[in-house]
């Protein structure tokens, strides 16, 4: 029941709401940077690592389109890159936590209106289950064939 409620709320969230949650979260990142840092958070939590290829495949976009924001987050000290793998720096982990808390608070308020307030751990499990299911569905079409080359080219 919790997963269904969370899925319904998240599925109905518009871009203005997303932008407002990020801007009100007290993060130091702009919306694009917040998105990139949270993609690394999501993939690391769900599959154990994050790479530009996985993130691009999830969004069905060429990695080259997403590369500039991830490079900027590396340059600004929020992410690191080791080959094609992306991870948070201490500053990036701190920003991801700030944004995650803002999203959780917003989602808990919405759920409280619909079905009652879940525990933090139940909410995290529900959100992760939905995210994993969506990730599997999205990636079922296969990964891009050349994400590592894009990263190698951009590092030169």
Average pLDDT, the chain: 78
CB-based contacts of 115, cutoff 8 Å, min separation 6: 1, 2, 5
The pTM of this model reads: 0.72
Domain ranges of the chain: 2-155
The pLDDT score that the predictor gives to residue 124 is 65
* DSSP character string of 87-99: EE-HHHHHHHHHH
pLDDT at 153 over 60: no
The pLDDT score that the predictor gives to residue 2 is 60
Tell which wins on pLDDT, 69 or 156.
69
The pLDDT score that the predictor gives to residue 112 is 66
Q: What is the pLDDT of residues 67-91, one digit of tens each?
A: 999 999 999 999 999 988 999 999 9
CB-based contacts of 75, cutoff 8 Å, min separation 6: none
Topology (CATH) of 2-155: Arc Repressor Mutant, subunit A (1.10.10)
Pairing of strands 79-82, 85-88: antiparallel
Tell which wins on pLDDT, 95 or 16.
95
């Amino acid at each position: 029941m919790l997963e269904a409620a969370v899925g319904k709320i998240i599925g109905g969230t518009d871009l203005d709401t997303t932008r407002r949650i990020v801007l009100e979260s007290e993060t130091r990142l702009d919306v694009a940077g917040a998105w990139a840092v949270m993609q690394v958070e999501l993939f690391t939590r769900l599959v154990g690592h994050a790479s530009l290829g996985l993130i691009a495949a999830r969004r069905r976009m060429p990695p080259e389109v997403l590369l500039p924001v991830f490079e900027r987050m590396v340059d600004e000290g929020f992410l690191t890159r080791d080959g094609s793998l992306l991870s948070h720096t201490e500053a990036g982990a701190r920003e991801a936590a700030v944004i995650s808390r803002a999203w959780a608070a917003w989602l808990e308020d919405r759920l409280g209106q619909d079905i009652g307030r879940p525990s933090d751990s139940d909410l995290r499990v529900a959100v992760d289950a939905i995210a994993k299911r969506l990730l599997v569905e999205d990636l079922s079409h296969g990964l891009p064939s050349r994400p590592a080359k894009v990263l190698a080219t951009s590092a030169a």
